[in-house]
Structures are given as structure tokens and as C-alpha cells.
Amino acid sequence: MAWRRLNGAKIELPIKQAVEDAIVREKELGHKLKVCIGSDSQVRGGVVEYATVIVFLREKKGGFMFINNSRSTKQISLRERMITEVAKSVEVAYSLCDLLDQYDIALEVHADINTDPHFQSNTALKEAMGYILGMGFVFKAKPDAFASSHCADKVV
């Protein structure tokens, strides 16, 4: 997986090392952190484009994020696409959870799924919530899932 910063700079280190370096740097600066992970996708011309973000929130001091973009040409339903987004977020969260526990940093997994049953994405809500909670992570859906519905949405 190729990760980058919002300014486009590539992250050359393995993502776990880059996250640890960021945590150490932010803690040395006296910031209290929370990490939110989310994904979003768009279908463009038969290609599904995904963005997964790791958002670092500094308590009362803004934040920053690491971004991964990927593509798939496989045609899938909206429900499958929502679950794929969640799977991408859970995969990243799972790879980082021991590190975040080590530094006592709260973690949330955000799903770009609407809690309002009038929206199509709601068809995947129960599965996504079960998947994320079943993995032991804190789950957030729209309108509280800013990592997926705002951050990842801007970079997909």
C-alpha cells in the first residue's frame, strides 16, 4: 500500500513506522492524540476508486492525515462497496491497534454509511457495525463519521 500526506508527499516508511514516528513527534510536542480511520469510494467510468485515511486529531489543536488510494475494476453492488470500504478501514485499524494501545491513543473506525434508512448506503449499516464492533473497535457512522464522509471523501 502506498501512503501519502495531504500535500502529496509520499510516505516512504512502512505505515506502522510512519504512524509511530508521528505519535512520538506529537507527544514530544505535548499533544494529546486520537486516531480515526475511514474509507470512501467513488465509481468513475467502471472503475471503483477508494481512499483510506488515518486521521490524527490533536486535542484542540487541529490534525493531519495519511492517505492511501487504490482502484478496482471489479463491478460490485453498492452494499458490497460499502463493506469493502469498511474492510479497508478495519485492515488498517487492525494493523495499528497494538501500536495505538502501546501509546494509549483512542481509535475510532468510521463508516461512510448513513444511519437514515431513506439512504441507499443504509443497506450495509448492520453488517458494517457488526464487523467493526466485532473486531473490538469504536464504530462511528454518518453524521459522526467525518474521517470517511469528509476526509476520505475529499481525496478519493
Q: pLDDT digit string (tens) for 114-154? A: 888 888 888 889 999 999 999 999 999 999 999 999 999 99
- What is the CB neighbour count within 10 angstroms for residue 86? 27
**Nearest residue to 144 (alpha-carbon basis) of 117, 111, 118, 120:** 111
Q: pLDDT digit string (tens) for 32-49? A: 999 999 999 999 998 999
Taking a C-beta distance cutoff of 8 angstroms, is the pair 63, 42 a contact? no
Model confidence, pTM: 0.94
**Alpha helix (H) residue ranges in the chain:** 15-28, 78-102, 125-134, 146, 153-155
d(CA 118, CA 58): 34
Whether the CA torsion 39, 43, 44, 46 is positive or negative: it is positive
